Amino acid sequence: MYFEARIQKNLETVTNYRTNSIVLEWIRAQEIKKSLEADIAEELGHAGELGQRLKQLNANPPGSAAFTAQQESLQPPEDSTDVLAVINGVLDAEDGAISPYQQLVELAQAADDPATVDLAVEILAGEETHRSELRGFRKEYSGD
Ligand SMILES: [Fe+2]
């Protein structure tokens, strides 16, 4: 249940990061586009690792019929130069990812499942790194 929801989020994130990285246009958008492209690979990797862990636990990762789209703030902005809107959407996605992975760590600890604890800790650290990078971008683009 927890894994399936995370895999769905990873794959929805891939879709929206790709779309936004294509839609954004502005000289100053280049850094964000690069960052989104790099994170697409990472998110796909997370979905793969979680799927493999499910398989090891004798279950299968979900197909798309199990999915409901949820990332409203990550839809491409009407103004294709609105980099800040995309940055805020990405920060929503990262914030939304972090607490479920913290919960997964706790659940896996309680279930005495160290392999899942390790995986969740590794993914959590990656998301926190990405969030702090995005916070830096937000400062720069909003002139805070
Ligand atoms: Fe991320």
Question: How remote is the CA of residue 38 from the centroid of ligand 1, in Å?
Answer: 9
Q: What is the mean pLDDT of residues 14-19?
A: 97
Structure tokens at 101: 């992975």
* Domain count within the chain: 1
CATH number of the domain bearing residue 34: 1.20.1260.10
Domain that includes residue 54, residue range = 2-60+73-142
- As a whole number, mean pLDDT of residues 19-25 equals 96
Question: Is 42 within the bounds of a domain?
Answer: yes
Q: Contact at 8 Å (CB) between 3 and 49? A: no
Q: Which of 88, 103, 106, 95 is nearest to 128 (CA)?
A: 95
Task: List the end-to-end C-alpha distance of the chain, in Å, as a whole number.
Answer: 39
- Is 113 inside a domain boundary? yes
| d(C-alpha 138, C-alpha 144), whole Å | 8
What is the reported pLDDT for 28?
Answer: 86
Summarize pLDDT for 122-144 with one digit per residue, the tens: 999 999 999 999 999 999 988 75
Ligand 1 mean position to 120 CA, how many Å? 13
- For residue 65, is it within any domain? no
Instruction: Find the 94 Cα to ligand 1 centroid distance in Å.
Output: 6
pLDDT at 30: 93
CA of 41 to the centre of ligand 1 (A): 10
Q: Give the residue carrying structure tokens 């690792």.
A: 49
The answer to whether 105 touches 124, Cβ cutoff 8 Å, is yes
Read off the pLDDT of residues 72-82 as tens digits, 9 standing for 90 and up. 999 999 999 99
Structure tokens given for 114: 């160290």
